[in-house]
Structure 1
Amino acid sequence: MTQLRSASLPLLELNHVLRFSLYSRWMFVAVLGSSTLVFYLLHLNLPLLPLAAVAIGVAVINLWLNRDWRLGRPVRRLLACGLLLDVLALGLVLGLTGGASNPLAVLFLLPLMMAALVCSPGVAWGLTGIATGLYLLLFFWHLPLPAGEHGGHEALFNLHLVGMWLTFALSAGLITSCVSRLVRILGERERRLNQAYRRQDSDERLLVLAMEAASLTHQLSTPLNNLFLLNEELRETPDLPREVQEDLQLAHSQLEQCADILSRLKSQSQAEREPVRLYRTLGERLAQWQNLRPEVRVEWQHSNMAQDRTVRLSPLFWPALFNILNNAADAGEGRIELHTRFHTNGDWELGVHNRTGVLSEAQLRRAGLDQFDSDKPAGLGLGVWLSHATLSRLNGRLELSNHAEGGVYARILLPLEPIS
């Protein structure tokens, strides 16, 4: 089994292990206390008061460990102290109930196994040395178990056999619960690592695209400026026909729009969350987008505009949204339905529905996670992948599905930071 060291375990997982350790110690206290009560009722000649004192002492120290955990004390130190308490308490109980001949002595392996799994090598070997020394001392210092009035050695042997069975049952239960819990923690950690690897891969791809976009932006600036100069010279040419003047004016306005887009592209890398009136800004952005795509008809079904809110919204959201809108417009033959509403928890939902096309099962499984070739009218490509990556970085998500009424439905869910 691969051993996990505390230095490599995240704090959240260490907290789970510590909680399990505290619960297991309460189980030990309950078993020891109830056994002491049974011994008293059966009038067995055992040191009941020392056994009760051990149970009370473990309970008090466990309460102290639990309090320190709630107060935010170092989890690794609390884990080591708790495992040391387990070893010492077990040694005391064994010393009071037969010493090394008590079959419960194998329970020394449980805290040592826990230490090997979650503690540093120094702590694990230190506890192993302490447990080994205590076990050796139990051969020479212990109180013998009472043989009873009848039976003598036979009664002790039967008691030993019963103790071996109880030890096996207890060890099997604790080992199963402990290992199962640690395996679940390890599985959760593996899942998070896989998510981190996927996000790192996505970030690297985004970084490559961002660098390429920055390079292309710089390269486009020079020819764009040259086109401005040529346009100005042509407009100053005398005796131009009216139609040519109008075309040159239109070309000038288009060049200005291109320059504005490049300027916004350059400044977006330093963009921060800015306060905006959400629905009003969305309406303005949609109007700008429709100026570029006048053939697209957008039907926006939203809640009452009086419920518009001022929120902090990253400017990175808008390119992600328009990637989805462009994809829907291409697939939906120029018609898009837009649905917006606020959730009770403050999240904002925006749905984009085009009535044409359908996603295959493979596309539904991969939608938003991988870049793959577009296949209109239901194609998904680089734009959707970039939108998914951007929304993920904004703590939102993008879901694609086939709509019951036909077409493809893109659901964007985005947590917003309100401004009071």
Structure 2
Amino acid sequence: MHTSLPTPANPADALRRLIHLRWLSIAAMLGVVVLVPWLLDLSLPGRALLQIPAALIAINLLSLARARRLDEHRPTELFLQLAVDLGAWSVFLYFTGGATNPLISLLLPIVAIGAATLSPPFAWALASLAVAAYSILWDFNEQLDIYDSGLAVHWHLAGMWLTFAVSAGVIVWYIVRMTAAIRSRDQALAEAREARLRSERIVALGNLAAGAAHELGTPLGTMAIVAGELARNPALDDDTRADAELLREQIGHCKAILGNLTLRAGSLRAEGGETLAADVWVSGIIERWRRLRPHVALTVQCDCGPSAPQLIADTTLEQAIHNLINNGADASPDGLACEIAVEAEHLRVRVLDRGPGMPDPPLPAAPAPESPGKGLGIGLLLAFGAVERCGGRIRFSDRPGGGTIATLTLPLSALRP
């Protein structure tokens, strides 16, 4: 079985983090040049040393401008940037005692960053450069003259402690930032995988629906004929004929839905809906639902402002709102409420029922279809798919006093013509 190596971190993000760390290196070099002569009464080649942070400042400004222009960077560029930092510290250490300078431990964070962000060949190459620099500085360096050997040992140990603390802080900061970026990427991948699986289920349901629409045409026609004959039969009492007429009307709605199924399934959003005011659009959905379930009381409250925004009547979103109301009616057949409002560039539809309330455990972000009769199954799955495609969301919460509140939120920017 083939096992792929883990992909290195994004070079663009790694370069931006490296630019921030380079400012810390520049500050550390300037601090050494300014503070060490005052603390240790040492004479440092200040002119030569100041040229190194000056060069790093110029390189960092150019890198910053490049990072803002480009979104993607090649891994080779990140390796070269780390090699520049390694070379700058090596030159700085050459003028300040070489391998005897405790600051030489600062080469280790550069190697650690390279190991965390570069591919294995580049990481090993950077480690080899660091070992080579350390070895060269062992014999080739400018020694510093310290007259008090006891003071020299004391400050050397203090320098070792300081470089250890700085190295540990830099490594932890960088690894924590990189780990957070990896977790964010993994979460995005998991969400994309869930969306793909959900889309596959919806496609499978669409194929089944097409076959069902074809097969249901004949029995629905037969039922319509029988219901019509019963409604016109004078031998039946008035209540029975009224029930037969209602049955014929509902069969007519079913045939109309099946007749529009093919047209709705294949139409594009821009072609499949007309432009309507938000309140008119949602009110039309509610009226069509009422014709299908006239025995369920539905209270509607609409607050779309004095001038409701114009929206494209997306048929898939119509079905999503229809399914939410239908699920609320299944849970609360004695009555439910629907609130429509436009708030902060969003269309918000709330369905409030007096059913059994939220299940335990709560509903996931996008539930899988359940068996018929349980509710919150295929219809809700389709609703989640349609709403998420437009950048919206569906959330469920407990209703005070018992029941559930289903809140559908849609961005107006995705619905405007």
| Alpha carbons 1:4, 1:117 under 8 Å: kept | no
Deviation at 1:352, TM superposition (A): 0.6
1:5 maps to what in 2? 7
1:298 equivalent in alignment to 2:294: no
Deviation at 1:333, TM superposition (A): 1.9
2:28 maps to what in 1? 31
1:123 maps to what in 2? 122
1:51 equivalent in alignment to 2:53: no
Deviation at 1:370, TM superposition (A): 4.0
Alignment deviations for residues 229-263 of structure 1 (CA, whole Å, 9 cap, x no partner)? x78xx98xxxx966799999988765553332113
2:336 maps to what in 1? 336
Give the distance between the partners of 2:242 and 2:123, measured in 1 at CA: 84
Deviation at 1:373, TM superposition (A): 5.8
1:156-167 alignment to 2 at 5 Å?
Answer: 156-167=152-163
Flag the 1:215–1:365 CA change in 2: closer, same or farther, 3 A: closer
1:145 maps to what in 2? 144
Deviation at 1:134, TM superposition (A): 2.2
| Alpha carbons 2:354, 2:404 under 8 Å: kept | yes
| Alpha carbons 2:316, 2:386 under 8 Å: kept | yes
2:181 maps to what in 1? 185
| Alpha carbons 1:312, 1:416 under 8 Å: kept | no
Give the distance between the partners of 1:161 and 1:54, measured in 2 at CA: 25
Give the distance between the partners of 2:23 and 2:6, measured in 1 at CA: 25
| Alpha carbons 1:401, 1:408 under 8 Å: kept | yes
Flag the 1:113–1:218 CA change in 2: closer, same or farther, 3 A: farther
The TM-score with structure 2 as length reference comes to 0.84
Q: Give the residue type in structure 2 aligned to 1:127.
A: L
Q: Give the residue type in structure 1 aligned to 2:60.
A: N
Query: Secondary structure of 2:139's partner?
Result: coil
1:351 maps to what in 2? 350
Alignment deviations for residues 27-83 of structure 1 (CA, whole Å, 9 cap, x no partner)? 111111122111344552221111111111111111111111111263345533321
1:67 maps to what in 2? 65
Query: Secondary structure of 1:138's partner?
Result: helix
| Alpha carbons 2:253, 2:292 under 8 Å: kept | no
- Give structure 2 stretches of 5+ with no counterpart: none
1:408-419 alignment to 2 at 5 Å?
Answer: 408-417=404-413, 419=416
Give the distance between the partners of 1:218 and 1:68, measured in 2 at CA: 59
Give the distance between the partners of 2:26 and 2:146, measured in 1 at CA: 26
1:87 maps to what in 2? 86
Alignment deviations for residues 355-390 of structure 1 (CA, whole Å, 9 cap, x no partner)? 34322442x2447434446887xx533323332333
Give the distance between the partners of 2:218 and 2:373, measured in 1 at CA: 35
Q: Give the residue type in structure 2 aligned to 1:22.
A: I
2:101 maps to what in 1? 102
The TM-score with structure 1 as length reference comes to 0.84
Give the distance between the partners of 2:404 and 2:373, measured in 1 at CA: 14
| Alpha carbons 1:374, 1:380 under 8 Å: kept | no
Flag the 1:29–1:419 CA change in 2: closer, same or farther, 3 A: same
| Alpha carbons 1:301, 1:338 under 8 Å: kept | yes
1:21 equivalent in alignment to 2:15: no
Flag the 1:339–1:253 CA change in 2: closer, same or farther, 3 A: closer
Alignment deviations for residues 191-241 of structure 1 (CA, whole Å, 9 cap, x no partner)? 22332332233223222222221222233345557778x78xx98xxxx96
1:281 maps to what in 2? 281
| Alpha carbons 1:357, 1:406 under 8 Å: kept | yes
| Alpha carbons 2:337, 2:352 under 8 Å: kept | yes
Q: Give the residue type in structure 1 aligned to 2:184.
A: E
Give the distance between the partners of 2:372 and 2:249, measured in 1 at CA: 32
Count residues in correspondence: 401
Give the distance between the partners of 1:227 and 1:328, measured in 2 at CA: 28
Flag the 1:303–1:33 CA change in 2: closer, same or farther, 3 A: same
| Alpha carbons 1:4, 1:118 under 8 Å: kept | no
Query: Secondary structure of 1:203's partner?
Result: helix
Flag the 1:278–1:369 CA change in 2: closer, same or farther, 3 A: same
Give the distance between the partners of 2:299 and 2:233, measured in 1 at CA: 40
- Give structure 1 stretches of 5+ with no counterpart: none
Give the distance between the partners of 1:73 and 1:307, measured in 2 at CA: 42
Deviation at 1:92, TM superposition (A): 0.9
* Percent sequence identity over aligned pairs: 26
Q: Give the residue type in structure 1 aligned to 2:267.
A: A
Flag the 1:227–1:357 CA change in 2: closer, same or farther, 3 A: closer
Q: Give the residue type in structure 2 aligned to 1:298.
A: L
Q: Give the residue type in structure 2 aligned to 1:138.
A: L
State which drifts further: 247-256 or 187-196.
Answer: 247-256
| Alpha carbons 1:46, 1:146 under 8 Å: kept | no
Give the distance between the partners of 2:223 and 2:298, measured in 1 at CA: 33
